[in-house]
Chains A and B, each alone.
Chain A
């Protein structure tokens, strides 16, 4: 029965998981891993205002074919699910025209000069003559025959046109589509992506872009990439384990133990850690493979064949690693904190299994190996030399160190979408940046938008269409005091004298009464211009497009939603947090190593310093260092600690070296294969781990 302990443990864990499945919560929101809580809130408000929900479609050229395609595409797009509206013409929508009609007296300019009878007569005579002599038909505005009111033609800033069509610079015609999809809605995004691409496949020269295209294309690519890497890694790992351990029973028990550790850590993490992310889960699972070195050390030192309860080296290695990850679990970077917590749980569980359960399984004894050449100390380089070399490499790195703060660089580099995005950006006219404007009331919000317009007159916002309450009231007063009744009488008298049809102008200027209220209720009609209004319990929000963010960003009611800048800021904070915690972890590791290896401190510390310095020196020589490089360096520390302790305290160095070599191979198989990934984040991990393992290999071969 005891021989099946491993299986029983796994069975219990899986049963617990099944029973408590409703308590398991996994977050799929990747944004929350990289952006600060404040940035996520900002982006949520921006999404509610329609930001990132726009899809742009460009049709090359301005000829008849292009126009025909625009009409056809617009028509077909309107039939699709998740499409809010489609705009290919600068002609205002029916709703906006209704709005203009209702608020015409308030919005139009008004010539309030007192008009004499003679002036009325002259103007009407001109209209009369034009009806008889003009070759082009022109209608008479019987409501405003003297043209006292005039409404300026309003156009969205940054949008050019060719005739009635919206143009994308000199490239061609543009179709603007507002969708209901924000980049985080994966299933809906996939459905709309498929429908749009099926539709556009009939038009080979058409280019489309929407932020949610990245969600769909990149996640598909990442999924394919990860699947391939998992298969490759599993095959390589199993092959290595089998070839090297040559013990099927041990191999199967090890795989079961690792799996149980992953299940244990997954259950605890997803039940007790808030918003535990799927990426942290996947990464944490891979990290569990590091615990194989406990098994290998035990196996090659025949720990399971002795009555020994504890192997001090493995214990020290385990404790140092767990303490390092334990500290990192408090770092305010959700991804690293979650992975570190997972690592503490899974490594602890694996340690317990390998140390206390495996001796009960009755595993076969390991046959001693012949002496390897690495034990010949005289051919090896002194530890101090490696220590000095490590310091030299660190110095070199410090002078060439460059940080990559653009978190988007970590993603899969979707060249085809980046190119499409660039096409729209480079051909759009004025570079306008969206900002969120907020206020406690709608009235105050409109006032703030007008204040913004005074600072930056080319600002495009609801203030372009809505007067602030004060100006509206002033206009209302102006119109109420103007004598329109007298004017109407004069017009009708003079019109009759000139020969106009009787009572043709009987309603002239009657549109000024009653006047529309200054509390505008119809702001929703401007959604087609990308101008929405959103309010939660206490605050009203809207979007404004501005030409110079720097000039207005200090205004208290403005929030800049430049995603790139947001991520840059959060990346800067991540780097400083990581450096702070990294330094703390290194100090504690130094202390722990001093306690566990004493005299061979320099020798042991080299297993951390040399892989780090070697890897960083190569990285800085090649490119800028990103956050995933730094995180992988932490994993490298965790790996190095164990080896340092094992090698320093080993009574049978040949067996220890063999255990380390196998462990290194398994680490390369688990993480190193990521070097083949096309996703920069995963590739970065692969590069660091491969280089680091290479450096450790050099140490075990060459250091004494």
Chain B
């Protein structure tokens, strides 16, 4: 679900974009290994859609309802997981709006040479240490998420 946070950040810098192809590089501290995935994210009014075409998995969030598909079939997820995912999706929506003052309510923002460091202020600081966004000119290049359990997730924009 934290993946959604990166994706939201991704969208925050590209308000007018509708769909992105991305590569996700995930590091698991527990097994000390990296995993790479490729996917696509589409942003619509009141929601978003994330798909991983190679593994035929898809996640659709619309009107505060989350639906998960495997091979085109709806699969239910545990309530606790769904509520956490929704929480992250709402952060995503906020980031998509690109409202600096709202962002400032939720993160302490540090501007460095060509990147931003976002340190969470609210409940999500229990899961996330900080988020790093790298830009070239005004275009977002990647987002890195540094989690409390030492896992990291990097999203690289391919388009």
**Given the complex of chains A and B, what is the CA–CA distance between A506 and B154 in angstroms?**
28
Q: Are A501 and B32 in contact (CB under 8 A)?
A: yes
Chain A min CB distance to B95 (Å): 13
Residue from B93, B94, B149 in contact with A142 in the complex, judged by beta carbons closer than 8 Å: B149
Q: Are A499 and B31 in contact (CB under 8 A)?
A: yes
Q: Are A500 and B2 in contact (CB under 8 A)?
A: no
Residue from B1, B33, B59 in contact with A132 in the complex, judged by beta carbons closer than 8 Å: B33
Q: A135-B55, A153-B79 are in contact. Are A500 and B123 (CB under 8 A)?
A: no
Interface assignment of A162: CB less than 8 Å from any CB of chain B: yes
Q: Are B86 and A131 in contact (CB under 8 A)?
A: no
Which residues of the partner chain B approach A131 to less than 8 Å between Cβ atoms?
28, 30-31, 33, 35
Q: Mark A160-189, 1 if CB is under 8 A from B, else 0.
A: 001111000000000000000000000000
Interface assignment of B109: CB less than 8 Å from any CB of chain A: no
Which residues of the partner chain A approach B97 to less than 8 Å between Cβ atoms?
64, 68
Residue from B26, B30, B55 in contact with A501 in the complex, judged by beta carbons closer than 8 Å: B30
Q: Which residue of B lies closest to A91 (CB)?
A: B123
Interface assignment of A140: CB less than 8 Å from any CB of chain B: yes
Q: A64-B93, A153-B80 are in contact. Are A137 and B105 (CB under 8 A)?
A: no
> Which A residues between 44 and 100 are near B, CB-CB below 8 angstroms?
62-64, 67-68, 71, 75, 91-92, 94, 97
Interface assignment of A511: CB less than 8 Å from any CB of chain B: no
Q: Are A63 and B37 in contact (CB under 8 A)?
A: no
Which residues of the partner chain A approach B114 to less than 8 Å between Cβ atoms?
none
Q: Which residue of B lies closest to A124 (CB)?
A: B30
Which residues of the partner chain A approach B32 to less than 8 Å between Cβ atoms?
501
**Given the complex of chains A and B, what is the CA–CA distance between A71 and B52 in angstroms?**
33
Q: Are A153 and B102 in contact (CB under 8 A)?
A: no
In this complex, how many residues of chain A approach chain B with their Cβ under 8 Å: the count is 31
> Which A residues between 489 and 527 are near B, CB-CB below 8 angstroms?
499-501, 504
Q: Which residue of B lies closest to A139 (CB)?
A: B149
Interface assignment of B57: CB less than 8 Å from any CB of chain A: yes
Q: Are B52 and A504 in contact (CB under 8 A)?
A: no
Q: Are A62 and B63 in contact (CB under 8 A)?
A: yes
Chain B min CB distance to A95 (Å): 11
Q: A75-B105, A153-B79, A500-B31 are in contact. Are A140 and B1 (CB under 8 A)?
A: no
Chain A min CB distance to B103 (Å): 11
> Which B residues between 91 and 132 are near A, CB-CB below 8 angstroms?
93-94, 97, 102, 105, 122-123, 126-127
Which residues of the partner chain B approach A97 to less than 8 Å between Cβ atoms?
123, 126
Residue from B87, B93, B105 in contact with A91 in the complex, judged by beta carbons closer than 8 Å: B87
Interface assignment of A399: CB less than 8 Å from any CB of chain B: no
Chain A min CB distance to B86 (Å): 5
**Given the complex of chains A and B, what is the CA–CA distance between A128 and B86 in angstroms?**
26
Specify which of A131, A137, A138, A153 lies most central, judged by the most chain B CB atoms within 10 Å of its CB.
A137
Which residues of the partner chain B approach A67 to less than 8 Å between Cβ atoms?
90, 93
Q: For chain B, what secondary structure do more than half of its interface residues adopt (helix, strand, loop), or is it mixed?
A: mixed
Q: Are B123 and A132 in contact (CB under 8 A)?
A: no
Interface assignment of B147: CB less than 8 Å from any CB of chain A: yes
> Which B residues between 66 and 84 are near A, CB-CB below 8 angstroms?
79-80, 83
**Given the complex of chains A and B, what is the CA–CA distance between A139 and B127 in angstroms?**
10
Specify which of A68, A97, A135 lies most central, judged by the most chain B CB atoms within 10 Å of its CB.
A135
Interface assignment of B153: CB less than 8 Å from any CB of chain A: yes
Interface assignment of B3: CB less than 8 Å from any CB of chain A: yes
Q: Mark A595-636, 1 if CB is under 8 A from B, else 0.
A: 000000000000000000000000000000000000000000
**Given the complex of chains A and B, what is the CA–CA distance between A140 and B90 in angstroms?**
24
Residue from B28, B30, B64, B149 in contact with A163 in the complex, judged by beta carbons closer than 8 Å: B64
**Given the complex of chains A and B, what is the CA–CA distance between A131 and B153 in angstroms?**
12
Q: Are B64 and A500 in contact (CB under 8 A)?
A: no
Which residues of the partner chain B approach A138 to less than 8 Å between Cβ atoms?
1
**Given the complex of chains A and B, what is the CA–CA distance between A162 and B87 in angstroms?**
11
Chain B min CB distance to A193 (Å): 26
Q: Are B30 and A132 in contact (CB under 8 A)?
A: no
Chain A min CB distance to B105 (Å): 7
> Which B residues between 37 and 56 are near A, CB-CB below 8 angstroms?
37, 39, 45-46, 52, 55
Which residues of the partner chain A approach B151 to less than 8 Å between Cβ atoms?
137, 139
**Given the complex of chains A and B, what is the CA–CA distance between A140 and B147 in angstroms?**
12
Which residues of the partner chain B approach A142 to less than 8 Å between Cβ atoms?
30, 149
**Given the complex of chains A and B, what is the CA–CA distance between A642 and B87 in angstroms?**
76
Q: A63-B46, A135-B57, A162-B64 are in contact. Are A500 and B30 (CB under 8 A)?
A: yes
Q: Are A164 and B3 in contact (CB under 8 A)?
A: no
Q: Which residue of B lies closest to A501 (CB)?
A: B32
**Given the complex of chains A and B, what is the CA–CA distance between A132 and B59 in angstroms?**
19
**Given the complex of chains A and B, what is the CA–CA distance between A445 and B2 in angstroms?**
41
Q: Are B31 and A71 in contact (CB under 8 A)?
A: no
Chain A min CB distance to B158 (Å): 17
Q: Are A135 and B31 in contact (CB under 8 A)?
A: no
Residue from A64, A71, A92 in contact with B46 in the complex, judged by beta carbons closer than 8 Å: A64
**Given the complex of chains A and B, what is the CA–CA distance between A131 and B86 in angstroms?**
22
> Which A residues between 451 and 466 are near B, CB-CB below 8 angstroms?
none
Chain B min CB distance to A92 (Å): 8
**Given the complex of chains A and B, what is the CA–CA distance between A49 and B63 in angstroms?**
36
**Given the complex of chains A and B, what is the CA–CA distance between A67 and B3 in angstroms?**
23
Q: Are B64 and A137 in contact (CB under 8 A)?
A: no
Q: Are B31 and A163 in contact (CB under 8 A)?
A: no
Q: Are A139 and B35 in contact (CB under 8 A)?
A: no
Q: Are A71 and B102 in contact (CB under 8 A)?
A: yes
Which residues of the partner chain A approach B26 to less than 8 Å between Cβ atoms?
137
Q: Are A94 and B123 in contact (CB under 8 A)?
A: yes
Q: Which residue of A lies closest to B37 (CB)?
A: A135
A-B contact sample (13 more), CB < 8 A, given A71-B102, A137-B1: A62-B64, A64-B45, A64-B46, A128-B30, A128-B31, A131-B30, A135-B39, A136-B1, A136-B59, A139-B127, A139-B147, A139-B149, A499-B31
| 18 A–B contacts, CB within 8 A, in A order | A62-B63, A62-B64, A91-B123, A135-B37, A136-B59, A137-B3, A137-B151, A139-B2, A139-B149, A140-B30, A142-B30, A153-B80, A153-B83, A163-B86, A163-B87, A163-B89, A164-B87, A500-B30
B-contacting residues of A (Cβ < 8 Å)? Answer: 62-64, 67-68, 71, 75, 91-92, 94, 97, 127-128, 131-132, 135-140, 142, 153, 162-165, 499-501, 504
A-contacting residues of B (Cβ < 8 Å)? Answer: 1-3, 26, 28-33, 35, 37, 39, 45-46, 52, 55, 57, 59, 63-64, 79-80, 83, 86-87, 89-90, 93-94, 97, 102, 105, 122-123, 126-127, 147, 149, 151, 153
Instruction: In the A-B complex, list the 10 residue pairs whose CB atoms are closest, starting with the nearest.
Output: A163-B64, A135-B57, A135-B52, A162-B64, A131-B28, A501-B32, A140-B30, A163-B86, A137-B3, A164-B87
